Structure formats: C-alpha cells, structure tokens
Amino acid sequence: ETGVTQTPRHLVMGMTNKKSLKCEQHLGHNAMYWYKQSAKKPLELMFVYNFKEQTENNSVPSRFSPECPNSSHLFLHLHTLQPEDSALYLCASSQETGNIQYFGAGTRLSVL
C-alpha cells in the first residue's frame, strides 16, 4: 500500500462516545499533520508532529488528543465531542515540516 491511508472513512458518534482516528503513511516521511476541514472554511491545521515530537498545537480543544507512536503512524483520539466538531478530518505527511504535504482521503466525522 502506498501514500497516506486514513481509517475509518466515515464515523458517526454521540457526544459521550470515545473514538480514535488512525493515519498511516507509507512514504518514509518524518512529519505528520492533522487538519480539520469544515464547509466553506479553509483547512485548519490542528497538530504537527516532526520525528514523533509534537511541534505545533493550534489551540485545539483538549477533547482532541493526538498520539504519534512513530513517524509512520498518527492517531487522533476523540472524546465528549460537540456537534460543531462534525467535519472532514485530514491527515497529511511530508519529508520535513514545510515541504510538500501529501494528504489522505480523510475521515468524515458526524457528531450527533
């Protein structure tokens, strides 16, 4: 498998649920990113990891908790989300931070 793979593709959860989004990159990159994409809004950067270390948290609420166990895997743990958190969550990777970013297909999240 090549590129950036995200699972699941679709997720529906209640406000009290706990779920996790998974991202895996097969490109040998060192940096990984989480973005939120809402309708009619620009992509919002959430977190940046470089060599497994978090280098940026863009004032994201604590109900979103990222985890990067190695340079190939990135998780986003979700708990007690709000309906306004419904969006497309995109993972990306790049050789180094600031280089060309390659995106996964995203997870479409609906919070009921």
Partner 1 sequence: EDQVTQSPEALRLQEGESSSLNCSYTVSGLRGLFWYRQDPGKGPEFLFTLYSAGEEKEKERLKATITKKESFLHITAPKPEDSATYLCAVRSLSPGNTGKLIFGQGTTLQVKP
Q: Write out the residues near partner 1 by the rule CB under 8 A.
A: 4, 6, 31, 33, 40-43, 45, 48, 50, 55-56, 90, 92, 96-106, 108
Question: Least distance (Å) from partner 1 to the CB of residue 83?
Answer: 21
Q: List 86's β-bridge partners, or say none.
A: none
The structure tokens listed for 10 are 């679709």
Residue among 1 and 100 whose Cβ is closer to partner 1: 100
Residue among 6 and 85 whose Cβ is closer to partner 1: 6
53 three-state secondary structure:
strand
Residue among 23 and 78 whose Cβ is closer to partner 1: 23
Question: Least distance (Å) from partner 1 to the CB of residue 62?
Answer: 21
Cβ(4)–Cβ(25) under 8 Å? Answer: yes
Provide CB contacts within 8 A for 1, sequence distance 6+.
26
Residue among 14 and 99 whose Cβ is closer to partner 1: 99
Cβ(37)–Cβ(88) under 8 Å? Answer: yes
Question: Least distance (Å) from partner 1 to the CB of residue 64?
Answer: 17
Q: List 103's β-bridge partners, or say none.
A: 92
Question: Least distance (Å) from partner 1 to the CB of residue 85?
Answer: 19
Give, as one character, the DSSP assignment of residue 57. Answer: E
